[in-house]
Amino acid sequence: MLKTNVIKIRQLMLGQSITSTDIARECNVCRSYVSHVISGRVKSERIRLKIASKLGKSTDELWPESVYE
């Protein structure tokens, strides 16, 4: 994943006062797992959908590449 996409997601989260910890709690996963999903190291459709929903965006907007290439 491009670093610019990660920065964009982090900026959107910061602007809406959403943390990786918040998302992790709602999804019952650890914070580091959410960070790995944001960075593209782990591809979890469930976590991506939660992040996108919280940010009011689509997963395609946040992760332009195919989820499962």
pLDDT value for 1: 60
- Rounded distance, CA 66 to CA 49, Å? 13
pTM for the full predicted model: 0.86
Confirm if 59 and 38 have CB atoms less than 8 A apart.
Answer: no
Per-residue pLDDT 10s for the chain (69 aa) are: 667 889 999 999 999 999 999 999 999 999 999 999 999 999 999 999 999 999 999 999 999 875 444
- Name the nearest CA neighbour of 62 among 44, 46, 38: 38
Class of domain 3-61: mainly alpha
- Name the nearest CA neighbour of 68 among 41, 39, 37, 45: 45
pLDDT value for 2: 66
Annotated domain spans of the chain:
3-61
